[in-house]
Structure 1
Amino acid sequence: MVPSSALRTPWLRTFQPVASPRARIVCFPHAGGTASFFRTWHPAMPEGWEVSAVRYPGREERIIDPLIGDMTELAEQIADALAPHLGTPTAFFGHSMGASVAHEVAALLAARDATKTPVALFVSGRGAPHRLKRVANGDLTDEQLLATVHGLGGPGAELLRDPELQELVLPPIRSDYELLDAYAAGPKAPAVSIPITAYYGESDPGPSAEDVRAWSELTTAPFEARSFTGGHFFLVDHEVEVIGDFRRRLGALL
C-alpha cells in the first residue's frame, strides 16, 4: 500500500514511499537523464528518509509527453508539483543540468512562500548560473551530439551507439541542450537563503573549480564546495562518498 503522504505526481518517481518521512530528497537528473539515475540512493539513506527523482517529460514512463525546451516553464511545472508537499523537510540534489533546474525551482518556491522552501540545495557537476556560457550543443548534428554525450561518459553511454536506442534518446538530449543554450544566455533566478553544497569532478571538461565555487554568490546562507577525482560523472564512481557527505550535511540540518 502506498503511504497517504506519498508524492503522487507524474513529475516524480518515489523509489520507496515512506509513511510520514522525516526528510525528503528530490533529485534532478542531468541533460538527457532520467529518474532511474538515482535509483540506488534510497537504500543508502537513513530510515525515514524518502528519495524521489524528477521525471522530465519525453523519457521513460513519460515518453509520450511533450518535451519542454524552456527553463522557466520546466521550473514552474516542477514547483507546482512539489509545493503541496514542502511541509516535510526537503533537500534538492541536482546533477549537471539538474543543478540549474533545482536552483530555479528552489528560488521560485522561495518567491512564492518563504516558509516553504528546501532546507538545503546540493549541486553537482555544474557551474554557477551567472558563470554559464552558451556552448551551442543544441546546434550540433546528431552524430556530433552523440559523440559529445558519449565523451562525457556516465552510465549507459555505450548504449548510444545502438541506432534503435538513438531514436529514443536523441530527442530529449537535443531538447535539453537547446534549453541549456537558451538558459545560459537568458535571465537566471536570484540568490536564495538556502545552504548550498557544490560537488565537482577535478577532471570535468565542463565547469572549472572557479565556476563551481561561484555558487557561493547565489546564497546568503552557508556554502561549501567539495571536489572528487574524475570527470563529469564523478558521481557514479564516488557515489558512496557523495551520499555519505550528503547524509552528514542534511542530517545536521534536521
Structure 2
Amino acid sequence: MSGRSCSFGPVTLEPTAWLRILRAEPAAARTLVCFPPGGGSASAYRELAAALAPGTTVAAVQYPGRQDRFGEPLAESIAAMADAVTEDLIRLPTEPGLALFGHSMGATVAFETARRLSAAGRGPTVLIVSGRPDPRYVEPGALHEAPDSALIADLERLADDPGSVAVLRADPGLAELVLPAVRADYRAVETYRFEPGEPLRCPVVALVSDADPTTTPEQADGWREHTSGPFERLLFPGGHFYLDAAVAEVAAAISARLR
C-alpha cells in the first residue's frame, strides 16, 4: 500500500522522499503522520494504520538507510530529519487536518517537525508522543560511539523479545546491514539538545507505559511544558515497545484524540 496515492476531492496526496502512504482513504477528514522509533522504518506502523478509525489517511516517515532507502546517506541529527520531513509536509494540502504521532526517537522528531510547521503557519491539529521523555531531557550516554556489542545489548534491553535481537550477534552479515542505521539514530538522539522557543499551541498527548526503562510517567508529564494548549497523559501496560502488543488500544486512543 505504501505506493498508493490518496485523493481529497481534486487534491492527491502522493508519497514523497520521506513519506510513505500506509492508508489511503478517499475524502479523509484528517491525515496522521507517524514517526518511527530509532532503528525503525515506515512499515512498523502498518498494523496501527489499519486499526485506526475510519476517516484517517495515514502516512509514515521513512528515514534514510532502511528498506527502500537503503544505501542513502544516513541522517546525522534530529534537526536534519525534522527539516527534511517539514519540507515534504509543507507541500501537502492544508485540508484535511494534519496530526503527528511519534514513538521513542520518533516523538522528538515529530515535536521538532511540529515546531517547524507551526513557525510556517501550518501547525498540526494535535501532537501525540509516545515512549519518550520531554525534549529537555539529555541522554546521559554515548552508545553511538560504543562497539556493536554494546548497541546490540541496549536493543535487547528495550525489546519485548530479546531473542529477536540476539540474532544480530549470531549473524555478523545481518548486523553489518542493520547496525549503521541504528547507530546513526542513537547519535541523533544522544546529541540532541532542546533549544527553547515558542511553545506549541496544539493539544499534546503523551503516551507512556508502566514498565518502560526509558521513560517514566513523571517524565512523560514534562511534555506539558511544550504547549500552551491542552495536555493529556495516557498510561498503558508494558515495556518500551508496549504498542506492538496493544495496537487496538493505542489505535483507539489515537483515533479519539484525532476527532
Same-fold call, TM cutoff 0.5: yes
Instruction: Please report how far the alpha carbon of residue 158 of structure 1 lies from its aligned counterpart in structure 2 after TM superposition.
Output: 4.8
The answer to which of 93-102 and 83-92 deviates more is: 83-92
RMSD: 1.8
Task: Please state if 1:23 is matched with 2:30.
Answer: yes
Cα 1:94–1:188 shift into 2, 3 Å? farther
In 2: Cα distance, 1:131 partner to 1:211 partner: 9
Cα 1:136–1:13 shift into 2, 3 Å? same
Instruction: Please report how far the alpha carbon of residue 188 of structure 1 lies from its aligned counterpart in structure 2 after TM superposition.
Output: 5.7
The answer to which of 9-18 and 56-65 deviates more is: 9-18
Q: Deviations over 1:148-179 (max 9, x none)?
A: 11221157535434322211110010001111
Cα 1:31–1:189 shift into 2, 3 Å? farther
- Give the match for residue 78 of structure 2: 71
What SS does structure 2 have at the residue aligned with 1:206?
coil
- Give the match for residue 54 of structure 2: 47
In 2: Cα distance, 1:12 partner to 1:248 partner: 24
Q: What aligned pairs does 1:22-171 form with structure 2 within 5 A after superposition?
A: 22-87=29-94, 88-113=96-121, 116-154=122-160, 156-161=164-169, 162-171=171-180
Q: Which structure 1 segments of 5+ residues have no match?
A: none
Task: Please state if 1:201 is matched with 2:220.
Answer: no
Cα 1:31–1:3 shift into 2, 3 Å? closer
In 1: Cα distance, 2:256 partner to 2:43 partner: 24
TM-score, normalised to structure 1, is 0.91
Cα 1:56–1:204 shift into 2, 3 Å? same
CA contact (8 A) 1:86 1:118 kept: no
Q: Deviations over 1:50-108 (max 9, x none)?
A: 11110000110000210011222211111000012151211111000000000000001
TM-score, normalised to structure 2, is 0.90
Q: What aligned pairs does 1:193-232 form with structure 2 within 5 A after superposition?
A: 193-232=201-240
What SS does structure 2 have at the residue aligned with 1:41?
helix
What SS does structure 1 have at the residue aligned with 2:152?
helix
In 2: Cα distance, 1:51 partner to 1:220 partner: 26
Identical residues among aligned pairs (%): 36
CA contact (8 A) 1:131 1:214 kept: no
Q: Which structure 2 segments of 5+ residues have no match?
A: none
Aligned pair count? 248
Letter in 2 for 1:28: F
The answer to which of 232-241 and 4-13 deviates more is: 4-13
Equivalent position to 1:172, from 167, 173, 181: 181
In 1: Cα distance, 2:65 partner to 2:134 partner: 26
Letter in 2 for 1:179: A
